[in-house]
Amino acid sequence: MYPSTSPETGRDPWADGPRPAPAGQPRGYPPGPRTGPAVEETGELRKRGPRRARKGGEPARRPDDEVVEPEEEAVPPVPVHRPLALTVAGFAALLGVGLVLGAQTAGPGHRLPFAGIILGVQLLYVLAWTMAMRPPALAVVALVSAGVAVAADAAAVRSEIAALAPLGYVAAGGLLLGVLGQLVRRVDRARVTESLGATLLIVIGVVAFATLIVLGRIPAGTQAITVCLTATGVALTVARLTDAVAPWPRLAPQVPRGAAGVVVGAMLGTLVSAVLGSYLVGFTPTSGALIGLVTAGTAVLADLAVGYAEAGRLMAGEPPTMWIARHLQGPLGGFALAAPAAYAMCTLFL
């Protein structure tokens, strides 16, 4: 039998010798992998192609890429004016003495003298805070706040039961009047929120001072006012005096206050309240130190927060307002926040 195909099928009949192997490769061996840079026929290295993009779409970084970060400019600290710090310390001391002595004049049938002192402090608070904050509807905010101060003092004196509920109603009515007065105005409606925020702060502050009248009507209230407001006055005065002598370490470059004044003021206020607690009826050194610590710490922190708020307004580009109002704002805010704290501590622990 013969095969169906010849072994010569498919062979080039004109080729006399074996097929030549491809140039550059030894015969019988597969091409090896390239390990070096690709070399063209001219012997030069091929140029690098574009960098492979990363997953986020940014080109991959090479080791020789340099990242240049902008240098942060050092902000020079605001200088501390010693005469101004001493003046504010004296004002805080006088305010504390006036409130403590005024509380001693209050009695079951003689509440009006102390209410008159509180009203004067409230009007000073309204003047300082409105001139410092400069809300859009300044006249509306000032008139509403002054009306709330008078109404809160009348409610604190004339109410049958010494409680804070009438003061809460007065504060709510004042906020409602502030909203209506702002909506009636035809200009600056874009800044309604700012005006209402200023109204809220000032109304709450004047109502907070009225809590001292209510506190004087409860048992041991006059002694509590003496301890708490003495601690508050000492804390604010010492804090400002320390800032005039050693304002360090600085809490912020834009705020001319130091941490040493805040800490030392709160500590000395607590010490003074503990000493008073050992002499007053109904108190002990422990209870006096406890309520003094709360009120003194609250006051110095409120005073410090006012400084931060003023620095924020200046950094935002707002022009500075009346300097005396800006610097009286801190001690007034400290006493305003210490008054309800004293009421709360007296009702909870005494």
Domain extents for the chain?
Answer: 105-217, 220-350
- pLDDT value of position 205: 96
- pLDDT value of position 237: 98
HSE (side-chain half, CA atoms, 13 Å) at 336: 27
CA dihedral 205, 80, 98, 167 (to 10 degrees): 10
- pLDDT value of position 77: 84
Q: Are 220 and 349 in contact (CB under 8 A)?
A: no
- pLDDT value of position 350: 74
Q: Are 228 and 342 in contact (CB under 8 A)?
A: yes
Cα(3)–Cα(35) distance, integer angstroms: 49
Mean pLDDT for back-to-back runs of 10 residues, the chain (350 residues): 48 51 51 50 47 52 54 74 95 97 86 94 96 87 95 94 94 92 68 82 96 93 95 98 92 92 97 95 93 96 94 84 87 97 90
- pLDDT value of position 209: 97
- Tokens standing for residue 89: 């310390």
Q: Write the DSSP assignment of 172-232 as a string of letters.
A: HHHHHHHHHHHHH-SS-GGGHHHHHHHHHHHHHHHHHHHHHHHHTTSTTHHHHHHHHHHHH
- pLDDT value of position 219: 87
Cα(134)–Cα(205) distance, integer angstroms: 16
Cα(322)–Cα(257) distance, integer angstroms: 20
Q: Are 292 and 275 in contact (CB under 8 A)?
A: no
Q: Are 296 and 336 in contact (CB under 8 A)?
A: no
- Tokens standing for residue 132: 């410092």
Closest by CA position to 205, among listed 136, 137, 316, 305: 305
Cα(345)–Cα(350) distance, integer angstroms: 8
Cα(350)–Cα(201) distance, integer angstroms: 29
Q: Which pTM does this prediction carry? A: 0.78
- pLDDT value of position 227: 96
CA dihedral 248, 253, 257, 258 (to 10 degrees): -20
- pLDDT value of position 223: 94
Instruction: Write phi, then psi, for 102 (nearest 5 degrees).
Output: -65, -35
Cα(44)–Cα(59) distance, integer angstroms: 26
Q: Please name every residue paired with 252 in a beta bridge, in sequence order, or none if there are none.
A: 255
- 249 prior amide bond cis, ω within 30: yes
Instruction: Write phi, then psi, for 309 (nearest 5 degrees).
Output: -65, -40
